[in-house]
Structure 1
Amino acid sequence: MFATAARNFVEEVDQGGLLIPVSSLNDTINLLTVVVKRKSFWIWQKARYLPTDFHLNDLLTGDTPINPAVIEMDFIKYDGTYGDKIQGSIDANILDYSSINVEGKDSSKLQSSFGILKKEEVDVQKLLRDCKGRLLDMSHDLVQQTMEKHRQVFGIVKERILTTQPSSVTEEVQQGGQCGGGLNLCKPKSPKVSLKENGSLSKDSNISMEIPVRTVIAYALIELEIKHDGHFGLCLMSGTDGGFEVDGAAGNELVAVSGAQLRSSEYVCINKELEKLSDHFNFLSALPATTRSSLLQHLTKLMEQKEAVSSLQHVLEQMCQNERPVLDKVTDSQKQNIQAVLDLLKDSGETQGNQSTSTLTALHLVVSAIDEMSHECHAVLKTCCNFTELQALKQLVNCLSTQGESYLGGTGQATLTEEIYEKAEPLFASAEWPLKRDGDSVKTDTHSRPGPNALALCIAITGLDSLAVED
């Protein structure tokens, strides 16, 4: 809940900038706190940031600590409310004898009242002078453990946004469903008999979290270029990536880990990228129908919470790297569905042979793509997780990724109805890939380039469609 509120704040005030939302209230984010930046597993993903318990001074050799000059200033006053509401109903009459009515409602609201926020930042010029000639202790456990992972690098906190007054985050969730049916019995010259039955199910929750003064909401980093001997430099220019020096074929070279060269899909042909990934989707569609159906069901459930998708993504990434998955930081409400996904992988033999390994990688691909999407997109996408709607969305992706066009109406399983189009519109708009409608024709603006999340959206839709089973 807090992580979602922090992420919403960053998206509003610094989208595409340097600020990183705090993912946990338990993280200690002080100026010059050491943060491990982990390169994304897939090249189109954003990097992950793991705050440590260490300060830059803890890693330096010598006894003289660095005391940074800190500049404080008022930032903004921030209060935000985010929510979504989904409602649907089905009425059906079977001949003249019976009828059925099914109705469902799902709404959520997240309110963040952070109040007046303050920014603290390090005087970088003084920090640069203070770091001149200093060495990192290359034998330090944190340095050694980070160097073992070639996709990780150090950053230090240069700026942070924090609260100046008690604040709060409140989440309200309402879920409800109702089902009713009737049976009419009538014989000639006899009284009419009517039987009716109704049922309903509802679930409400209202959670409020009080945030103390000086709680960090977001922060920014300076990455470090680290040499073999412990000398290090600060990456001052935007787009300059840090890394550890390693032995290369042509001598010593610095291995950067940002992996940001292909982060924006405007530089790639989405259709070609989907073709490259087609084997992953094929592995998923080749799974037994019961396994695919169960996986889709659990993924749909996990999409109710953004943090749950992120937790599953992290667990699957650990497995892809042959690490033992750790569920210690997963909440009980998330653990059940995540464990169910892992059990399904185990039952399909994910630890044996190339095919099973590819199935694990394919599922990680899809979950990682879903994780790149916002909570609002999750709310829409999870309502589309059925065979008919996913087929229509997949067909829409195929058409738009080749700069073609799709059409409303028609016949067949992949029919783009008005209802599906209304769901597709905000999904594609979130990827800065807005749909244009001209009568029954649907296409995108050929003069605009898809945003950074367009490829992730296409992968998510295509992957979920690979798991869908025809009713």
Structure 2
Amino acid sequence: MFATATRNFVEEVDHGGLLIPVSSLNDSIDLLTVVVTQKRFWFWQKPKHLRTDFSLNDILTGDTPIKPVVIETDFIKYDGTYGDNIQGTMDASFVLSNVTVEGKDSSKLQSSFGSLKKEEVDVQKLLRDSKGRVLDMSHSLVQQTKEKHRRIFGIVKERVMTTQPCSVIEEVQQGGQCGGRLSICRPKNPKVALKENGSLSKDTDVTMEIPIHTTLAYALIELEVKHDGHYELCLMSDTAGGFEVDGPGMKPLLGVSGASENSCIRQELEQLSDHFQLLSALPASTRSSLLQQITKVMEDQTAVSALQNLLDQMCLDKSPTLGDVMMTESQKQNIQAILGLLEQKVDSAQTKHSTSVLSALHLITSALDEMTYDCLAVLVMCCSPKVLKALELLVQCLAGSGELPVSSAGLAALTEDVYVKAEHLFASSNVSLKRDRDTVKTKINHQPGHLPLVVCIAVRGLASLAH
């Protein structure tokens, strides 16, 4: 809840900028706090930031601490409300039953942060004070960070804080009706049966009180660390920090930086085509279950991030643990269901094949995790097989000539209502979608970031499960 609120806040006030949302109320972020930045697997992913319990002075040699000059200014007054309404009806026929399910979900997240202030370090003075200073290369934090690949030291140079007690309020209403008879069986779980004319409704209201002087977002300045511990501040946005290494440097991350043009998106999708084909080749029941569970997880941005982090751990051959993530019990069950499907080896004799399925799902969730709140909310409403097929054609259009006849096979699902959703989905990803008589046109709007590529990967991945 808090993580979603701060993420929405940063998207609104500093989209594509330097501010990093604080993900937990437990994180204490002060000026000059050392934050370890971890570059991710896919080049278009935002880096992960790991707060430490140390400040820059804690890892410096010498007895003279750096005392920064702090500039304090009023920032903005912020009150934001985010919400969505989802309605749908599904008719399904099974061997032993027929079922009609009607559902209606609505959620609202209200963030009343009030008047905010910003604290900034005087970088010019920090630059002078850092001249000649040396990091203690024997410090445990320095040693452990240096040993990890793609990890960089950064220090907090500015932060946005609350100036008064404030709150985050989440309201969720869920309701559904079921006609016919539907039975759901899962291993190690009791059998659940919704019988004729059954109904279910659930309302949840949660209020989180945020204390004064809580940091909501912060910005970093990275350090370029030499062998002997001398360091330089990376003052330019195109200058990356890191540790000086012996021999060849780190291998570049997968992908081509700056993939924002149609041709670059096409090249990236072609490089990832094996992942999509692998998902399409899964048994129909497995694909259907994965799409259903992933769609449920997509209803909560925090759950998407949690699933992506778990798949991160599995890709590194670690045992996945949810940790202290704040989620509903139903979302935890959805994530466990996805992990359970992964553990049921598609072919127990082909470990490499199962590992590839993990990589393919990791690709999809990584893209979903990069999406904005609006983009993700709209995509959830487009997760029926027919609509995903139509969206996939629009993605091919975007990666190709940018034009597609309305009469194209597969675009029949693009009704007026669906078209409005598709238009909003692409607009939230810096892509314009327009109908010009008998032609649909797509055009990339030049903005910072990789949102056009991210939405293409997400749509292609989900459509692969819907084939």
The 5 A counterparts of 1:169-184 are 169-178=168-177
1:353 aligns with 2:351: yes
| Correspondence for 1:321 among 316, 324, 329 | 316
Alignment correspondent of 2:423: 425
Larger radius of gyration: 1
Residue 261 (structure 1) shift? 6.9
Once the two structures are superposed, residues 200-245 of structure 1 have per-residue CA deviations (whole angstroms, 9 ceiling, x without a partner) of: 3222111111100000011000000001111111111222110110
Of the three residues 453, 456, 459, the one matched with 2:457 is 459
Q: Do the aligned partners of residues 260 and 467 (structure 1) sit closer, same or farther apart at CA in structure 2, a change above 3 Å counting?
A: closer
Distance 1:139 1:267 in 2: 48
Q: Which of 326, 336, 340 is matched with 2:337 structurally?
A: 340
Q: Check conservation: 2:11, 2:372, Cα contact below 8 A.
A: no
- Whole-Å separation in 1 of the counterparts to 2:129 and 2:69: 10
Q: Which SS does the other structure have where 2:244 is aligned? A: strand
Partner Cα distance (1:327, 1:101) in 2: 34
1:35 equivalent in structure 2: 35
Q: 1:396 to 1:72 in 2, by over 3 A?
A: same
Deviates more, 1:317-326 or 1:278-287: 317-326
Matched, 1:406 2:409: no
Secondary structure class of the residue paired with 2:17: coil
Q: Distance in 2 between matches of 1:261 and 1:458?
A: 15
Per the TM alignment, residue 415 of structure 1 is displaced from its structure 2 partner at its CA by: 3.9
- State the match for 2:121 in structure 1: 122
Match of 1:50 in 2: 50
Q: How has the CA–CA distance of structure 1 residues 257 and 20 changed in structure 2, closer, same or farther, with 3 Å as cutoff?
A: farther
Aligned residues: 443
**CA–CA separation in structure 2 for the residues paired with 1:355 and 1:217:** 42
In 1, Cα distance between the equivalents of 2:375 and 2:247? 43
What CA distance in whole angstroms lies between the structure 2 residues aligned with 1:294 and 1:90? Answer: 15
CA distance in 1: counterparts of 2:430 and 2:229, whole angstroms: 43
TM-score w.r.t. length of structure 2: 0.87
Q: Which residue of 2 aligns with 1:381?
A: 379
Helix, strand or coil for the counterpart of 1:153?
Answer: strand
Quote the offset at 1:112 in angstroms.
Answer: 0.8
Q: Identify which of 432, 435, 441 aligns with 1:434.
A: 432
Does structure 2 retain, via aligned residues, the 8 Å contact 1:2–1:169? yes
In structure 1, distance between residues paired with 2:251 and 2:241: 5
Match of 2:153, SS state, is: strand
Match of 2:12 in 1: 12
What TM-score do you get using the length of structure 1 for normalisation? Answer: 0.87
Q: 1:405 to 1:257 in 2, by over 3 A?
A: closer
Q: For the Cα contact (< 8 Å) 2:43–2:253, is it kept in 1?
A: no
Deviation at 1:122, TM superposition (A): 0.8
CA contact (8 A) 1:394 1:461 kept: yes
CA gap 1:413/1:234 in 2 versus in 1, 3 angstroms = closer
- Distance in structure 2 (CA, Å) of the matches to 1:288 and 1:161: 49
Cα distance between partner residues in 2 of 1:411 and 1:11: 37
Distance 1:167 1:378 in 2: 27
Structure-2 separation of matches of 1:436 and 1:127: 50
Match of 1:443 among 431, 441, 444: 441
Unaligned runs of 5+ in 1: 92-99, 182-196
Structure 2, gaps ≥5 residues long: 92-98, 181-195
Give secondary structure in 1 for the equivalent of 2:321.
Answer: coil
